[in-house]
Every structure is written in C-alpha cells, then in structure tokens.
Amino acid sequence: MHVRPALPPRGFTVGTAIVAAASLLTLCLVALPARAQTMTEKGNAAMAEDMTRMTRTQEMSKMPGTAMENGEVALPEGFREWVFIGAPLTPNGLNGGAAAFPEFHHVYIEPIAYAAYEKTGVFPEGTVIVKELVTLKSPEYDDGSRDEASGRGFFAGEFGGIDMMVKDTQRYAATDGWGFFNYGHHKPPYQKTAAALPAENCSGCHTANADEDMVFTGFYPILRK
Ligand code: HEC
C-alpha cells in the first residue's frame, strides 16, 4: 500500500508560522499578567469579605469561642475541618506511662483567624485554636511504637480529648489574653461546654514557654514567620 507523506496544510508557509507565533506571544504577554492581577484582586476581596464577616459575626456573638451567658464556651462543631497546623507527639511510653497530654496533639485553627494571621502576623481577637489528643495505635514496643509497612513508628489510634484556647484580651486579661478550656481528656463524646481554667492549670505554662502571643508557633511550620 502506498502511504502519502504527511504534508503541511495548504497555504501554510514560514510567514504564517511567524505571524502565528507572534500573536501567541502577544496574547501571553497581555493575558497572563491580567489574569494574575484579577486573582490577587479576588484574593483581597475575599479576605476583606471574610474580615467583615468576622466583625459582623463577632457582633452577632456567633463566632466559635464566644462565651455564653454563664461564661462557659461551647466546643465548636466542625473544628476538624479547620486549618490543620500540626501534630506534636508526647507518647505515654516516653513519659513514664502518663504523658500530661497523651499522645498525638492534632492542632487546628479557625480558618478566618488563620487568614488574618497570615496577612497581619497577629492572632486576631476571637482566634480559636483546638488541640485534639489522639492516642497511639496498639503499641508493640515500650516507647509506644509499632511496626507498620512504612517502618517502625508512631501511628494514630483513637481520639482522646480536647484542649482549646480562645483569644479575647479583655475577657481573659487575667490569663494573658487567652481563655483556656478542657472538654475532657477521654474518648468522645466530649463535654459540650467548659468554663475557662485558671492560670495554674494552663496559661501559666504557656506564658512562660510559648513562642509568640501564648502560642507555640515554633512547632507549626505554617505559622512560623
Ligand atoms: C506544662 C506546660 C503546659 C501546660 C500546663 C498546658 N500546656 Fe498547652 N501546650 C504546651 C505545649 C508545650 C504545647 C505545644 C506542644 C505540644 O502540644 O506538646 C501546647 C499546646 C497547646 C495548644 C495548641 C496551641 C499551641 O499553643 O501550641 C492548646 C490549644 C493548648 N496547649 C491548650 C492548653 C490547655 C487548655 C491547658 C490546660 C488544660 C494547657 N494547654 C496546659 C504546654 C502546656
């Protein structure tokens, strides 16, 4: 069978190719920066809207972390969908069998507060940070580790408790601007509400040791400046 060699389409000349390439280049030069600018504008607009929403909802007392009439604060729903900032690990096996906060600490920050922190470098009033304790999956060694397909290490077992911080520099002035709450160090269901704890339970240690504004930002790569 005779196969015809592929020919360039009729009318296709070197001249056409140059014109086509030049038009493409112009299109890129004009269109791309315009697109980038639109995206930044969009980003800023979204941020402004979020900030307005934050102020508005704060006024409406609907922000997670807002104190109820009796002063207690409800454990926010849906915190596991917030921005995950890190997971410090203090296994019982490395802490005499009884770590103060066993064992993984899954830490989440409320997304609007995170966006504001990213922009300004300051935790805004109303910031809520939740630390959920997660026990280790059935340890095989004294240190709490076990062998898995990925290697010997520490693997998450069950949810095991909640600690929470809320920034409100007026209400919690006595504990350096943040309220500290414990919803139980046990498996869910957790307590639904909790009262702020005094300095000796929580904030004293944060005041003495935390990196920035009571938060251990040094353990969370996405919060580090
Ligand atoms: C002895 C010191 C100490 C005490 C007491 C303490 N914390 Fe912390 N807390 C830490 C350290 C260190 C971290 C970060 C590393 C980690 O989780 O192991 C942390 C992290 C947190 C975080 C995540 C945000 C952050 O700053 O890293 C929350 C929320 C928190 N603690 C709440 C509490 C609450 C609530 C109490 C009291 C029930 C409490 N803490 C008592 C030392 C302490």
Kindly report, residue by residue over 132-184, the tens digit of the pLDDT: 999 999 999 999 999 999 999 999 999 999 999 999 999 999 999 999 999 99
For residue 33, the enclosing domain spans 12-60
Do 99 and 31 fall into the same domain? no
Using the mean position of ligand 1's atoms as its centre, give its distance from the Cα of residue 206 in Å. Answer: 7
Do 78 and 166 fall into the same domain? yes
Judge whether 205 lies within some domain. yes
| Integer Cα distance of 91 and 18 in angstroms | 66
Q: What is the mean pLDDT of the chain?
A: 85
- State whether the beta carbon of 105 lies less than 6 angstroms from ligand 1: yes
Mutual orientation of helices 14-59 and 111-120 as an angle, nearest 10°? 110
| Integer Cα distance of 97 and 91 in angstroms | 8
Q: What is the DSSP letter of 148?
A: E
| Closest ligand 1 atom to Cα of 180 | 35
Judge whether 50 lies within some domain. yes
Judge whether 169 lies within some domain. yes
Token pair 């007026």 in the structure block, residue = 170
Do 93 and 200 fall into the same domain? yes
Tell me the CATH number at 149: 3.50.70.20
| Integer Cα distance of 149 and 31 in angstroms | 48
Do 210 and 155 fall into the same domain? yes
Do 79 and 45 fall into the same domain? no
Do 49 and 86 fall into the same domain? no
Q: Are the beta carbons of 155 and 135 closer than 8 angstroms? A: no
Judge whether 94 lies within some domain. yes
pLDDT band at 8 (very low <50, low <70, confident <90, very high): very low
Which residues share a beta bridge with 10? none
Judge whether 5 lies within some domain. no
Nearest Cα residue to atom 17 of ligand 1: 88
The total of structural domains in the chain comes to 2
Q: Is the pTM of this model over 0.75?
A: yes
Do 108 and 188 fall into the same domain? yes
